[in-house]
């Protein structure tokens, strides 16, 4: 059986508010617990021995948020609330509810813990046009109460072993791989498994081609190391030719190469960090094309 309460404040006559409630809910007047007072419930000591499942809050003045919070604490989870306000603003159109007040009331109900606040049709509540309420709104509390908790299950689900062709080792590996892509979220009603998408499946053919990168040209480092340029003048091409012929060795640095240094690849000018392993200019400072290579005084002194 429902526990019903009607809070009347501000000296409002409860007749119109109760009539509006009876048109929405099939209840009897004898089952309604009537609480009348000049002040709204927020300023009263409202400690009911039971939680109300249906409440009518009627007042001649707008309900403040403290009153709505106090009413919410006196209601059971999932309880239904009807708010009836009989005062009218000067700017309100006769025969209609105050739209601005209704929207403000819906906002306050949301902040007080109620959900699904909606304005009700006030047409036909009274034969007098001036007696139409300022606001006639319905709202409801969530089905869970204050301090509600739910148990989370962290148990790993047992993987379902499917028939996998091949040796037993391959079948066990396949079942282990299938379970590795599961995310378990336990709840009160059981466990649910959410499969995660393999990120490799999101790559297109163009993405895979771009990740591979362009093939190195003659001036770049390949899988077998640095290659000689097509117009190599540093001796790398000759060294590779000798190695192919079985002679080995590289080009020796000559006086002409010091007087008039040249490099077709352009790496020899930049220093040892950009020169190949067999470059004859390795160990020498960077230089400009056609400019004689000179060594500083510090380079001509022994380290020890």
| Residue 130 neighbours by CB under 8 Å, 6+ apart | 88, 94
Question: Could you give the CA distance from residue 74 to residue 77 in angstroms, rounded to a whole number?
Answer: 10
Question: Could you give the CA distance from residue 36 to residue 203 in angstroms, rounded to a whole number?
Answer: 70
- 94-108 burial code (b ≥16 CB/10 A, e <16): eeebbeebbeebbeb
Pairing of strands 52-59, 75-85: parallel
Q: Is 229 annotated as a binding residue?
A: yes
Question: Could you give the CA distance from residue 213 to residue 256 in angstroms, rounded to a whole number?
Answer: 40
H helix count then E strand count, the chain: 7, 10
Q: How far is CA 189 from CA 185, 192, 230, in A?
A: 11, 9, 72
Give burial (CB, 10 Å; 0-12/13-18/19+) of 277: exposed
Question: Could you give the CA distance from residue 93 to residue 76 in angstroms, rounded to a whole number?
Answer: 36
Q: Is 36 annotated as a binding residue?
A: no
Q: Is 268 annotated as a binding residue?
A: yes
Q: Is 70 annotated as a binding residue?
A: no
List the binding residues for [4Fe-4S] cluster: 265, 268, 276, 279
What residue numbers does the annotated binding site cover? 219, 229, 232, 234, 265, 268, 276, 279
Residue list for the binding site for [2Fe-2S] cluster: 219, 229, 232, 234
């Amino acid at each position: 059986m429902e526990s019903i309460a009607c809070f009347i404040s501000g000296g409002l006559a409860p007749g119109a508010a109760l009539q509006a409630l009876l048109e929405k809910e099939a209840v009897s007047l004898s089952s309604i617990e009537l609480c009348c007072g000049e002040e709204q419930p927020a300023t009263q000591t409202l400690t009911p021995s039971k939680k109300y499942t249906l409440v009518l809050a009627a007042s001649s003045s707008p309900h403040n948020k403290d009153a709505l919070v106090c009413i919410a604490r006196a209601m059971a989870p999932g309880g239904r609330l009807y708010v009836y306000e009989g005062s009218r603003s000067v700017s309100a159109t006769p025969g209609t509810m105050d739209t601005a007040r209704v929207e403000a009331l819906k906002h306050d109900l949301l902040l007080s813990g109620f959900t699904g606040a909606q304005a009700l049709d006030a047409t036909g509540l009274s034969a007098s046009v001036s007696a139409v309420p300022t606001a006639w709104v319905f709202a409801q509390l969530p089905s869970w109460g204050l301090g509600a908790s739910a148990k989370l299950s962290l148990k790993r689900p047992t993987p379902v072993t499917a028939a996998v062709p091949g040796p037993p080792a391959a079948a066990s590996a396949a079942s282990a791989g299938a379970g590795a892509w599961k995310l378990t979220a336990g709840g009160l009603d059981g466990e649910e498994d959410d499969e995660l998408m393999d990120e490799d499946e999101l790559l297109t053919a163009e993405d895979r081609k771009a990740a591979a990168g362009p093939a190195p040209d003659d001036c770049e480092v390949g899988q077998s190391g640095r290659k000689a340029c097509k117009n190599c003048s540093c001796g790398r091409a000759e060294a590779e030719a000798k190695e192919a012929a079985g002679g080995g060795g590289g080009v020796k640095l000559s006086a002409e190469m010091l007087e008039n240094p040249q490099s077709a690849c352009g790496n020899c000018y930049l220093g040892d960090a950009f020169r190949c392993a067999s470059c004859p200019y390795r160990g020498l400072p960077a230089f400009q094309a056609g400019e004689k290579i000179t060594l500083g005084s510090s380079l001509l002194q022994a380290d020890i």
